[in-house]
Structure 1
Amino acid sequence: MTLPAPGLSHICDFEIRLDPPHEMGVTPAGTRRIIPVVGGTVTGPLLNGMLLNVGADWQTVQAGGVAQLDARYAMETHDGAVIEIVGLGIRHASPEVTARIASGEQVPPSDYYMRSFIRLETGHAGYDWVNRALFVATGGKVGPTVRLSVYRID
């Protein structure tokens, strides 16, 4: 039996504003930092609204430069629904590209890898569909902003 390959449907784009990171230093797991999420926008064919000033990315950069992304934040839709966002992902690049990103340079996302699994959850009946799907995202970082394009796995 051959199962069908999943498709992807674009649901929205996040533009996430970040505050400077709180550096925890080198731990047994790697270099740890907490990066506050302080707002942003959500625009797209299925979700529109604003990111709330709540949450953070609890990031661990491992030896070799792979950043483990563990973000939890929330959005409010244009019609008042609050949706929790949990993103688990990885970002990696060459040391040169990593330095360019860290300096705030606008580096084309094709020059590095940034992907996340996104879980959305809400109690709002009009958005119950987010509770019944899985999502993935591609991303890029410029200075204090992260951009994610979020897709539902069909």
Structure 2
Amino acid sequence: MSETSLPVRHLFRMDIDADLSNAARIRGGPAGTRMVASVDGGTVTGERINGTILGPSGDWLYRAADGTMHLDVRISIRTDDEVDILMEYQGKIYGDGSPRSAPTFQTSMEGPYNWLNKIQAIGIGSIDDGKLAYEVYELL
């Protein structure tokens, strides 16, 4: 199998403020161990989108019986020009602790960010000193 490059365009960097130490933990459920964590804020910075992460936002992640961590996240973004955007993504956390995700967006069909409603994105995350950040790319 040959390696190919994905056609992508950088959308934004997202820095997330979340305290996972305070997350609710439900152990031994049908989906494994579930954690519910509040996302308390953060920023989105890019060429076409800049804004702030608002509440309510959160992560409903779980560790499956095989040890795989699954993400289930909803983020509310308010752009610098006062437009609200819902970002939803699922994904997995790799063994090295780096998250990978598949974000989609919902916003006004009439507004300047309507193009977000029509795209699929990918997010490549990193955790450094307890800080979670993603580089988010539009698949072309």
TM over 0.5, shorter chain: yes
CA RMSD of aligned residues (A): 1.8
Structure 1, unpaired ranges of 5+: 94-110
The TM-score normalised by the length of structure 2 is 0.88
Displacement of 1:153 in angstroms is 0.4
Secondary structure of 1:139 counterpart = strand
Aligned to 1:63: 65
Match status 1:128 vs 2:114 = yes
Change beyond 3 A, Cα 1:80–1:127? same
Match status 1:89 vs 2:91 = yes
- Count matched residues: 134
Instruction: Give a deviation string over 1:3-55, Cα, whole Å, max 9, x none.
Output: xx751000101101113211122212111110111100000112101000212
Which structure has more helix as a fraction of its residues?
Answer: 1
Greater than 4 Å deviation, 4+ residue runs: none
Structure 2, unpaired ranges of 5+: none
Pick which of 141-150 and 35-44 moved more.
141-150
Aligned to 2:127: 141
Displacement of 1:143 in angstroms is 5.4
Whole-Å Cα distance in 2 between the matches of residues 54 and 153 of structure 1? Answer: 27
Instruction: Give a deviation string over 1:106-149, Cα, whole Å, max 9, x none.
Output: xxxxx444210001110151001101111110002245532111
